[in-house]
């Protein structure tokens, strides 16, 4: 397929309009062609045209490349944003993957709402990405390779050149007399993509000349399949989620195994956690969904964990150890920091809550559950053990020991976010304060969990 500004304009007209069009400009062939062609179309774009150059600092000549990128943009009268990265991989970490991750993070940081970031990946790149994902054992989401449009930062990432082979871009560059940079790392075969590009793909094309086109088409079909899966999973998630990211095991068990796995992946990704590998996902299925009803299974990976209590499946960052014997005296001020990354408590004025007079006249202390504590909630004629109240409210056991307990002069006065104990509730017309927490998700949802927890044992 021949590349021209007319072809590019047709593709852009089928895409969302942008307030700004930012081009990820490395100075290589592909991005040079894209930026040059867009410069010829700038009067027909819905927003301004800007180039963004990211210097990875991985090559000795990278600063020179940044200067040449500036000269090219100046000749086209296109504003240029330049960013420099310092990339130091940890032992065992892929430099190739880390550089890509940091590059997109850097590009996302310059996007505003309504911006489009245009990158110059083409049909050959799409074919290579599909092959990489196949070799990694990816499912439909990975085999969809690079989507034409995807969210990025506050804006959107757009790949308008996926229909064009690299040969078409090179022909355009020669016709226009363009010069571009050649990154020597592109020839280094220790990188997986380079090995595919220089060794594997030429062999495939020798036997199947249209391999890049057919592989790209397969990626597109996988993208369509993944979209259908995403729509189905969104419906499943809406039905299965009963409390601020907590899933109903009963609903999960009503689904087939493939739908269970798809729902779990979607749910984990939506919570901002890294996806578990197939081994951990299988453990979640077997241990959380397949264990006995009174079990409290735990599956942990990459600093995150999934637990089950009653009908609820919980996802959270791994809990940090702390000493439950810790006592924290509130010496004044409107906030108190809690240990073990459990956030903080803050005092706010309220119409109902802890009596302000009692608070001001008492020594205020935060403790954690040791066992045997009791509280008489408002409108309850009896003192109740916290164990009984926690069971009544459906608070999971691993959360119970981390619920801050507020003591006034040595007496349990409140469980912030849950209940005020008598006689510390303010009387009608009396000033009061409420304790609110800026805490991790598993504590932040206490009130909601108490109100919505399933009653099943």
Give the other-Cβ count within 10 Å of 399's Cβ: 19
Cα(299)–Cα(364) distance, integer angstroms: 38
Tell me the C-alpha distance between 261 and 259, whole Å. Answer: 5
DSSP string covering 336-364: EEPSTT--EEEEEEESSSEEHHHHHHS-E
Question: Is 27 part of any known ligand binding site?
Answer: yes
User: Which value, in Å, is the radius of gyration of the alpha carbons in the chain?
Assistant: 29
Residue 212 annotated as lining a ligand binding site: no
Pick from 417, 427, 453: nearest CA to 314: 453
Q: Tokens at residue 412, please?
A: 């349990």
Q: The tokens of 18 are what?
A: 């942008």
Q: Does 30 carry a binding-site annotation?
A: yes
Would the annotation count 291 as a binding residue?
no
User: Which of 382, 443, 369, 452 lies closest to 412 in space, CA to CA?
Assistant: 369
315 vs 306: CA distance, rounded Å: 5
Q: How far apart are CA 365 and CA 410, in angstroms?
A: 8
Is-cis flag, bond preceding 423, omega within 30?
Answer: yes
Residues 6+ apart with CB under 8 A from 119: 23, 24, 31, 157, 158, 159
CA distance 362 to 54: 58
Q: Let me know: does 389 contact 419? Beta carbons within 8 Å.
A: yes
The total number of residues written for the chain in this structure: 457
Please state the residue numbers annotated as binding site for ATP. 26-31
Residue ranges for the known binding site are 26-31
């Amino acid at each position: 397929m021949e590349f021209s500004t007319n072809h590019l304009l047709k593709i852009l007209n089928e895409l969302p309009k942008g307030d700004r069009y930012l081009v990820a400009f490395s100075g290589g062939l592909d991005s040079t062609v894209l930026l040059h062609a867009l410069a010829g179309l700038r009067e027909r774009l819905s927003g301004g045209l800007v180039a963004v150059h990211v210097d990875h600092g991985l090559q000795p000549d990278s600063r020179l490349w940044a200067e040449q990128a500036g000269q090219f943009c100046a000749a086209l009268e296109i504003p240029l944003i330049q960013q420099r990265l310092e990339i130091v991989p940890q032992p065992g970490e892929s430099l190739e993957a880390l550089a890509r991750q940091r590059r997109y993070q850097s590009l996302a940081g310059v996007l505003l709402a309504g911006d489009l970031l245009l990158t110059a990946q083409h049909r050959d790149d799409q074919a290579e990405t599909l092959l990489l994902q196949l070799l990694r054992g990816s499912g439909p989401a990975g085999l969809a390779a690079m989507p034409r449009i995807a969210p990025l930062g506050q804006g959107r990432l757009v790949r308008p050149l996926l229909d064009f082979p690299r040969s078409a871009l090179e022909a355009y560059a020669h016709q226009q007399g363009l010069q571009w940079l050649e990154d020597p790392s592109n020839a280094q075969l220790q990188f997986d993509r380079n090995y595919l590009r220089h060794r594997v793909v030429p062999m495939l094309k020798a036997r199947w000349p249209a391999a890049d086109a057919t592989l790209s088409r397969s990626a597109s079909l996988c993208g369509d399949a993944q979209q259908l899966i995403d729509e189905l999973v969104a419906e499943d998630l809406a039905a299965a989620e009963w409390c601020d990211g907590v899933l109903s095991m009963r609903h999960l068990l009503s689904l087939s195994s493939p739908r269970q796995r798809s729902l779990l992946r979607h749910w984990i990704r939506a919570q901002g956690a890294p996806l578990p590998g197939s081994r951990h996902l299988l453990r979640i299925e077997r241990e959380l969904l397949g264990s006995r009803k009174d079990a409290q299974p735990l599956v942990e990976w990459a600093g995150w964990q999934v637990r089950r209590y009653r009908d609820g499946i919980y996802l959270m960052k791994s809990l940090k150890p702390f000493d439950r014997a810790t006592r924290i005296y509130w010496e004044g001020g409107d906030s108190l920091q809690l240990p073990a990354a459990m956030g903080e408590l803050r005092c706010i004025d309220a119409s109902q809550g802890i009596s302000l007079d009692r608070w001001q006249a008492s020594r205020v202390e935060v403790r954690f559950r040791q066992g045997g504590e009791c509280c008489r909630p408002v409108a309850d004629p009896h003192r109740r053990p916290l164990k009984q109240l926690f069971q009544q409210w459906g608070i999971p056991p691993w959360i119970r020991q981390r619920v801050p307990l507020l003591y006034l002069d040595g007496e349990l006065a409140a469980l912030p976010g849950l209940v005020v104990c008598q006689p510390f509730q303010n009387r009608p017309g009396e000033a009061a304060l409420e304790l609110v927490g800026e805490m991790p998700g598993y504590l932040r949802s206490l009130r909601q969990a108490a109100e919505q927890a399933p009653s099943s044992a």
